[in-house]
Amino acid sequence: MASSAQQRVLDLLKGMSQCGLDAANELLWTELNYDRVARTLSTHNWSQRAAATLQQDPILLAQAGPSGSTFDAVYTQLSRLHQRRGFPLSIGDERPIVNQVMPSSGHKMTPL
């Protein structure tokens, strides 16, 4: 049987499709105790394809870990045109976004 903390995390994960950013914030900031950042990230240097798949610019919600090697939690939402079969995720559309966010892609995300 899951502990109450585990159940709360599970409930927040399940609720993200309805509550989106509010559920993500509560999960990261309250349940997992990540450091709050809540900073919009620019897509200015992104490929046109990656930027066009987004409904809005991504948001760096939270970070955890030592400086220089943090784990970043980034919230982004695909535009309605890029959502498939009523499901908000699409691997083909997500890959260009992930490539832009990952440091190994050679692109840095710049805070607005």
Rounded-to-10 torsion of CA 8, 27, 93, 91: -40
Considering the domain architecture, whether residues 44 and 22 belong to the same structural domain is answered as no
Q: What is the pLDDT of residues 15-36, one digit of tens each?
A: 887 887 888 899 999 999 999 9
Structural domain harbouring 19: 1-33
Residue 92 has pLDDT above 90, yes or no: no
Task: With CA atoms as reference, report the closest residue to 17 among 102, 64, 83.
Answer: 83
Considering the domain architecture, whether residues 63 and 99 belong to the same structural domain is answered as yes
pLDDT for 86 equals 56
Residue 83 has pLDDT above 70, yes or no: no
Residue 104 has pLDDT above 70, yes or no: no
Considering the domain architecture, whether residues 51 and 76 belong to the same structural domain is answered as yes
pLDDT for 1 equals 52
Considering the domain architecture, whether residues 93 and 42 belong to the same structural domain is answered as yes
Considering the domain architecture, whether residues 50 and 72 belong to the same structural domain is answered as yes
* Side-chain half-sphere CA neighbours of 57 within 13 A: 15
Considering the domain architecture, whether residues 9 and 40 belong to the same structural domain is answered as no
Considering the domain architecture, whether residues 41 and 29 belong to the same structural domain is answered as no
CA pair distance 37, 58, nearest whole angstrom: 12
Average of pLDDT values for 62-83? 78
Residue 2 has pLDDT above 60, yes or no: yes
Average of pLDDT values for 8-19? 86
Residue 13 has pLDDT above 90, yes or no: no
Phi-psi region of 64 (alpha: psi -120 to 50; beta: other; left: phi over 0): beta
pLDDT for 103 equals 57
Considering the domain architecture, whether residues 95 and 48 belong to the same structural domain is answered as yes
Number of domains in the chain: 2
CA pair distance 68, 103, nearest whole angstrom: 12
Considering the domain architecture, whether residues 42 and 29 belong to the same structural domain is answered as no
Considering the domain architecture, whether residues 99 and 44 belong to the same structural domain is answered as yes
Considering the domain architecture, whether residues 78 and 100 belong to the same structural domain is answered as yes
